[in-house]
């Protein structure tokens, strides 16, 4: 299966995704918050908070896993993206790492399908175009190395986010195709 067939962008609600795992754009405490984090905690039920209390928080760029409880997904992978501080505090690398850490946990737990929200683009203020490029690139890079994950869905909450993430995915696919065309042309 081609990598481009394993990544999709949709406009929907992350808590309704029927996948093995959904990713929570969490804060460092893992004890719930607003936005995606609050919606996931509310939909999963109080057992999620109880399990998160035992995890001892999570550093930025890393991920931890819990059961999904009342969610359609069996697992919730909690990752902490960076707060945007103007781009001079290693935010790009930390965001890339948040996606990568989530995917590494998915591989470890033999998760075949996973849905991501836009990490750090809400209250953390990461510029959405930049975040979308990093999200797609990190997922693409991981899927070139690992073939056990069959489906990665980037779930967008509104039309603007959907358009931006879709464009980011198209750009990566087009750039890969262009690179392949160039390398095939130079090998003749």
Task: Please state, in angstroms and rounded to a whole number, the distance separating the CA atoms of residues 2 and 29.
Answer: 37
Closest CA to 119 of 87, 181, 67, 77: 77
Inter-CA distances, 94 with 29, 127, 148, Å: 17, 14, 24
Marked catalytic residue, from 37, 92, 133, 167: 37
Closest CA to 74 of 38, 127, 21: 21
37 included as an active-site residue: yes
Inter-CA distances, 179 with 125, 130, 138, 146, 186, Å: 32, 22, 18, 21, 11
In which element (H, E) is residue 79 found? strand 75-79
Task: Please state, in angstroms and rounded to a whole number, the distance separating the CA atoms of residues 60 and 161.
Answer: 23
Q: Would you please indicate which residues are annotated as catalytic (active-site) residues? A: 37
């Amino acid at each position: 299966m081609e990598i481009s067939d394993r990544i999709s962008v949709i406009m929907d609600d992350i808590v309704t995704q029927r996948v093995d795992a959904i990713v929570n754009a969490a804060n460092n405490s893992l004890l719930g918050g607003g936005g995606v984090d609050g919606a996931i905690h509310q939909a999963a039920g109080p057992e999620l908070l109880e399990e998160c209390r035992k995890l001892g928080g999570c550093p930025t760029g890393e991920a931890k896993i819990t059961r999904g409880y009342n969610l359609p997904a069996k697992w919730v992978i909690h990752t902490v993206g960076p707060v945007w501080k103007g781009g001079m505090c290693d935010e790009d690398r930390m965001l890339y790492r948040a996606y990568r850490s989530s995917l590494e946990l998915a591989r470890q737990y033999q998760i075949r399908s996973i849905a991501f929200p836009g990490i750090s683009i809400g209250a953390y203020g990461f510029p959405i175009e930049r975040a979308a490029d990093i999200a797609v690139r990190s997922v693409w890079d991981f899927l070139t190395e690992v073939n056990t994950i069959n489906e990665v869905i980037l779930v967008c909450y509104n039309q603007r986010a959907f358009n931006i993430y879709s464009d980011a995915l198209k750009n990566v696919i087009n750039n890969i195709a262009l690179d392949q065309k160039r390398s095939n042309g130079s090998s003749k």
